[in-house]
């Protein structure tokens, strides 16, 4: 996609959202069905993903781990955002790779050590890009990718999460 094609698609949306700010507020939704054993079937809208325990917590490795899914969501969002940013800036990216790594201490998840955190202790996101960008262009791509990547911003800033449990 070329920069002008992206602008042609996004300009009317940006205008609409400036004029009608509430039109820009969209609620995304995910749902899943509690599955057999210790699993949850999540309908992504494109495919059905069955998630289960990571082998470090007793899983057999045959089901997707939710920690992996979180990192995959970060990679997907960052990759799409980077491509959109580079397109808008008219900086061709021949090819690239996005890598997310996260460190977990499963003692926290299993309740073995109260001082061990539940969740990722650290996440590293890296990009390997084949492009002719100069250092200033690469810095602009990095800055704007981090600024506009929804998953990156959500993870770095955090958001309140409200939970409810309804017995049927």
User: Residue 71: which CATH number?
Assistant: 3.30.300.20
0.75 exceeded by the pTM? yes
Can you tell me the mean pLDDT for 39-52? 86
In a domain, residue 70? The reply is yes
- A 10 A CB-CB count for 149 gives 23
Structural domains in the chain (count)? 1
Share of residues in the chain with pLDDT > 90 (%):
76
Residue 168 domain flag: no
Residue numbers of the domain that contains 46:
3-157
Q: Which of 34-38, 84-88, 162-166 has the lowest mean pLDDT?
A: 34-38
Per-residue pLDDT band for 77 (boundaries 50, 70, 90) equals very high
In this prediction, residue 45 carries a pLDDT of 78
Q: What confidence tier does 14 reach under pLDDT thresholds 50, 70, 90?
A: very high
Please indicate, yes or no, if residue 16 is contained in any of the structural domains.
yes
* pLDDT confidence tier of residue 42, bands split at 50, 70 and 90: confident
Confidence of residue 158 (pLDDT cuts 50, 70, 90): very high
Residue 33, C-beta contacts closer than 8 angstroms, at least 6 positions apart? 40, 41
Q: 163 in a domain, yes or no?
A: no
165 domain residue, yes or no: no
Residue 113 lies in a domain: yes
Distance of alpha carbon 122 from alpha carbon 86, whole angstroms: 27
Question: Residue 39 above 90 pLDDT?
Answer: no
């Amino acid at each position: 996609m070329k920069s002008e094609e992206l602008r042609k698609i996004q300009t009317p949306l940006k205008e609409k959202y400036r004029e009608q700010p509430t039109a820009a507020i969209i609620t995304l939704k995910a749902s899943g069905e509690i599955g057999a054993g210790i699993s949850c079937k999540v309908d992504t809208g494109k495919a059905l993903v069955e998630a289960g325990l990571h082998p470090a917590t007793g899983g057999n490795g045959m089901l997707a781990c939710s920690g992996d899914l979180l990192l995959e969501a970060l990679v997907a969002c960052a990759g799409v955002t980077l491509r959109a940013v580079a397109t808008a800036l008219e900086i061709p990216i021949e090819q690239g790779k996005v890598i997310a790594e996260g460190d977990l201490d499963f003692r926290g998840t299993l309740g073995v050590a109260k001082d061990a955190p539940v969740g990722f202790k650290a996440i590293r996101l890296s990009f390997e890009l084949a492009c002719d960008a100069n250092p200033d262009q690469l810095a602009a791509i990095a800055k704007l990718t981090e600024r506009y990547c929804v998953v990156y911003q959500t993870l770095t800033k955090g958001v309140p999460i409200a939970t409810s449990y309804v017995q049927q």
